[in-house]
Amino acid sequence: MPNRNGIPGVVCQTSPHLLWTFLRLHILHEMASPTNYSLDDARRSLAEDESALGNLIVEIDQAEATLERLVMQSKQAIEKMVQERRQLEEKMFQTKAYLSPIRRLPIELLRTIFLFNFEDYPCCAWVLASVSTPWRKLALSMPKLWSKIRLITTQQSSADTIRLWLERSGPTCPLDIEIFLRVTKSAPDLQRSGRASSPATWPCTHAAQQYFIPPPTGTSSTTVTILPPANTPIIIPPSPAQSDPWSASPSPTTERPPPIFSRSSMHWAHIAIFYLVEQMSRWERFVFRFDKQFPSAGALRSITGDAPLLRVFEVSSAESSYYTDWQWLPCASSGTPLSLPRLENITLQNTPFKWSSPMFQTNLRSLTLRALQNNHLSLDRILCIVSANPNLESLSLHFSGVLPPILPMHTTTLASLKELSIGGHYLFFQLVDSLLVPNIESLSLDIEPREPVEDAISNLLTRSGQPPLAHLSVAYGNSNSSTFYYGPAGFVISWNVLSELNHLQSLRIGSTSLEPLLTALGPPDEDSGQSHWACPNLTSLGMKNCHAHSEGIAKLVQMVDARNPSSGGGGSGTTAVNGVAPVKLRSLELYDCATLGEDVIGWLKGRIDEVTCTEPAFER
């Protein structure tokens, strides 16, 4: 508020110097023009203000420096305390580890624990050997922990991993070998595409971490799906300078550079197979799979000789190719002396073999043969391989080319056979007509359509005494062939054979007309000659590339409504015919059959527990 002289006053307390300065400025402002006295006074006032400002700045800088020094001293004190805390925590951790009961376990008991862990995780030795020095010494002193080789690798990785594994397994321990080779693109392909199709290594954060690759929903009969062996953990192969494969690896989100193609990658198999063949006398299981042909595949020819402990032998390729005559174990001459007394399981897919090899004369229990494109055997020689192993429990044959029989075909009885899978050339119908399988449980036929397939199935089951067949698959693997659509009309005359399969639990059908199949599985119709339910124990139905006409979707709904009525099904609400009511259908798969619509799919999911449906890319 203004004072008695009309000069505004300051309510708060101020210094006399500031008050006097304010008074002089007010007087100068009221004056019309500055005088010499007022100018000198203004200059003197400006000098005093600049001096006061300089002093104030100095005081501020001194205060900030003091504060910075205090903060620095406090941070140093905190860091020192944190370091002391870490040292104390580390000391406490070491003390607790020293007091841990596991340190007081006898070596014999710890060895037993290691072996128990080995049964569940075959690759646990790599982790156990990296825990501590005593554990490493113990793990390295137990050859059995290193007797199961489970390796997923590439040509760019070091083959010394196999050498190291074999050395640690000792000289006498039987070997269980499963190797899956991921073959990357060639160097020119990489330059064109700018990136690799598959990485050189796979990240793995823990030894017990396992990656399982589920099989695709449908594959072509001309190709084979090669998967890593079951329960195979991903192993990171070491570089030549490393001793263990469990070194640091890039995270899954880190972009990896393309693999470097060196001369060693061109000869990976020669190095790896050399190490393995040296220990062939200790092989108990040998499984080698690769997803593509690679330059050093010829190294497999060195697999020859005696294997007195060998029970399982498999070499599988996902890509078919043409090979010259290989002189390896499956191509040995008939007079070659081989010691394979325990061999009972052979799987050869897209690899060369001879029908007369002594390897097939060892009374096998499981045999899987997928012949090369240029391997055309006469039908009687294929039957000779089968008849030489009368105790087979599982048989799978797929030949794209078969020659007519040279010698007369004879009936072969496989009393122990439970699983039979035959696919490929149409002459295989004659092979089916030559088999007698009284205890078969699973039958899969994917043969070129030249004869009615239902006749072959019915004759096989009648000739075998109507065994309790539980699983049937017909043309389910051939998803790319169009011969089923435009082939002979007599390929599938009817589905009357289903009325004979009272024990059937799962049915897989591909590349046929949808309506007759669904009619056969639907409710009995006396007008059509169907007096009882077909497949009353059917719980799983799969159809692939089954073309449907206008009534296809309606037939599907009628079949599901009859087997799974709204009241619950499974014998409670289903109509019983001759005292027999079908069980509830629990799984339905439809791949590229018909466009059902969201309403129909929703209705199916309300009646069936598991429904899988993929619509065709185009309408036939």
pTM of the entire predicted model: 0.74
User: CB-side exposure of 110: number of CA atoms within 13 Å?
Assistant: 16
DSSP bridge pairs for 86: none
d(CA 607, CA 397): 37
Determine the Cα–Cα distance for residues 617 and 620; give it in Å rounded to an integer: 10
Residue 380 CB partners (closer than 8 Å, separation 6+):
405, 406, 407, 408, 409
Question: How is the chain split into domains, by residue range?
Answer: 16-87, 103-140, 470-620
Which pLDDT score, from 0 to 100, does residue 488 have? 35
CA–CA gap between residue 317 and residue 183 (Å, rounded):
11
Percentage with pLDDT > 90 across the chain = 45
User: What pLDDT is stored for residue 251 in this prediction?
Assistant: 38
Q: For residues 390-406, b (16+ Cβ closer than 10 Å) or e, as one string?
A: eebbbbbbbbbebeebe
Residue 452: band (very low, low, confident or very high) from pLDDT cuts 50, 70, 90: confident
Which pLDDT value is given to residue 226? Answer: 46
What is the number of other CB atoms lying within 10 angstroms of the CB of residue 87? 10
pLDDT in tens, 146-194: 999 999 988 888 888 899 999 999 999 999 999 999 886 543 333 333 3
User: What mean pLDDT is reported for the chain?
Assistant: 79
Distance CA(362)–CA(332), nearest Å, equals 14
Question: Confidence band (pLDDT; 50, 70, 90) for 616?
Answer: confident
Give Dmax over CA atoms of the chain in angstroms.
141
CA 474 remoteness from chain centre: 26
What average pLDDT does the segment 352-368 reach?
A: 92
Kindly state the average pLDDT of the residues 462-481.
82
Return the minimum-mean-pLDDT range out of 387-391, 458-462, 475-479: 475-479
Q: How far apart are CA 399 and CA 353, in angstroms?
A: 12
What pLDDT is stored for residue 337 in this prediction? 86
Residue with tokens 């002594």: 358
- How many angstroms separate the CA atoms of 603 and 3, rounded? 95
Beta strand pairing call for 394-399 and 419-424 = parallel
User: 457: Cβ–Cβ under 8 A, 6 or more apart, which residues?
Assistant: 443, 445, 472, 474, 497
- Coarse DSSP helix, strand, coil percentages of the chain, rounded to the nearest 5 percent: 35, 15, 45
